[in-house]
Amino acid sequence: MAKIYIGFGYHLDWINKINDEKLDTMRPFYTSHYIYSKKYGFDETHYLTSEVRLNASLGTRDNLVNAYKGVYANINWRLMPEYIGNKKQLVY
């Protein structure tokens, strides 16, 4: 018998005082965090992400951990609009 689960959620990440130590050397190493922040116009020392989520799962497995038969499907939709605190709107 298939079981369907649907849920809503809210996720908040607030990171501050980021000190990318690899940038403080004689020959700086540009980390992926630094490159991404510069490319998309984010502050590399702190950030805040705020998102609303919709999750849906379908399961027909006979055992959750060690399944012999059945399927599992999971879909997530995330919305990160500017009006709930984000610097730029993201949807994925």
Give mean pLDDT, residues 17-42.
79
Q: Name the β-bridge partners of 80.
A: 90
| Terminal Cα-to-Cα distance of the chain (whole angstroms) | 30
Residue 37, CA distances (Å) to 9, 47, 78, 90 in order: 26, 10, 20, 15
Q: How far is the C-alpha of 29 from the C-alpha of 41, rounded, in Å?
A: 19
Kindly report the length of the chain. 92
Q: pLDDT category, 32, cuts 50, 70, 90? A: confident
pLDDT band at 92 (very low <50, low <70, confident <90, very high): low
- Segment 19-32 shows an average pLDDT of 75
| Rounded average pLDDT over 80-85 | 86
Q: Which of 56, 54, 55 is nearest to 2 (CA)?
A: 56
Does the structure show a pLDDT above 70 at 90? no
Token pair belonging to 17: 């005082």
Q: What is the DSSP letter of 85?
A: T
